[in-house]
């Protein structure tokens, strides 16, 4: 097999694996009959960053737009093997890192030359040391709140209060006035719609 054909085969295999994100379902719903897929979540989080980008560029000089989009698109690919974990599920989150690292290794092995970038971006997102990673994580964290509000999916059946939401989510937004203001608007609307405990 020639090198070119071998590369195409590896890329093909990785694309087929990544497409499995469409079959990984999250806790949030798209309508009463169906849960949101991880692929839909990643797309929504990417769109949030695009919509906020001009404000974010005013707030932060020299932000790398392409890197943010890459981080958002790649951050949940490990869910192909690891599945999704609810942000408020403390018990399940204990093993999350170990399971996700194993999934990352498995996925990176499919097409090793891309696997290096995949591994690097995933770790950057998780560590949130760069501005771009902080923005990507903020988009990831705010996205399910929009989804719940849009579909009127209440936090109440999970016994989640506004204080818990703030404790879990606000640390991801506090670095940015844009995200903090957006979070304040979402909180007000959640209360108005009676979708969360006080």
Residue 28: CATH number of its domain: 1.10.3210.10
**Any domain includes 68:** yes
Query: Does the global pTM surpass 0.95?
Result: no
Considering only residues 91 and 127, tell me which one the structure prediction assigns the higher pLDDT.
127
The C-alpha atoms of residue 29 and residue 34 are separated, in whole angstroms, by 6
* 198 inside domain: no
Of 191, 149, 151, 184, whose CA–CA distance to 169 is shortest? 184
DSSP state of 161: B
Mean pLDDT of 51-67: 97
Indicate the angle between helix axes 38-59 and 177-192, nearest 10 degrees: 130
Would the pLDDT of 165 be above 70?
Answer: yes
Mean pLDDT value across the chain: 94
Is residue 108 situated within a structural domain? Answer: yes
CB atoms within 10 A of CB 5: 9
pLDDT of residue 87: 67
Count of domains for the chain? 1
Query: Is residue 23 domain-resident?
Result: yes
Q: State both tokens at 46.
A: 């990417």
Q: Does the residue 160 lie in any domain?
A: no
What is the structure's pLDDT at 85?
75
Q: Examine residue 180 and state whether it is found in any structural domain, yes or no.
A: no
Domain presence at residue 120:
yes
Percent of the chain with pLDDT over 70: 95
Find the domain containing 64 and state its range.
Answer: 3-153
Residue 53 has pLDDT above 90, yes or no: yes
User: 76-102: per-residue pLDDT in tens?
Assistant: 999 999 888 766 666 666 778 888 999
List the single range of 89-93, 127-131, 184-188 with lowest mean pLDDT: 89-93
pLDDT at residue number 107: 92
Q: Is residue 177 part of a domain?
A: no
């Amino acid at each position: 097999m020639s090198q070119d054909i071998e590369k195409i085969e590896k890329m093909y295999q990785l694309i087929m694996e990544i497409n499995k994100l469409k079959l990984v379902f999250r806790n949030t719903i798209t309508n009463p009959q169906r849960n949101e897929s991880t692929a839909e979540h990643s797309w929504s989080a990417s769109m949030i960053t695009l919509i906020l980008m001009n404000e974010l560029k005013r707030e932060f000089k020299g932000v790398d737009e392409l890197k943010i989009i890459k981080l958002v698109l790649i951050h949940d690919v490990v869910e192909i093997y690891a599945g999704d974990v609810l942000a408020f599920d403390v018990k399940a989150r204990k093993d999350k890192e170990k399971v996700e690292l194993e999934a990352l290794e498995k996925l990176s092995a499919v097409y090793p030359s891309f696997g290096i970038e995949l591994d690097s971006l995933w770790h950057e997102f998780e560590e949130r040391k760069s501005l771009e990673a902080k923005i990507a994580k903020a988009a990831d964290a705010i996205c399910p709140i929009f989804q719940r509000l849009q579909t009127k999916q209440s936090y109440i059946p999970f016994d989640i209060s506004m204080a818990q939401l703030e404790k879990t989510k606000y640390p991801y937004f506090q670095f940015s006035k844009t995200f903090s203001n957006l979070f304040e608007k979402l909180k007000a609307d959640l209360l108005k719609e009676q979708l969360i405990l006080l």
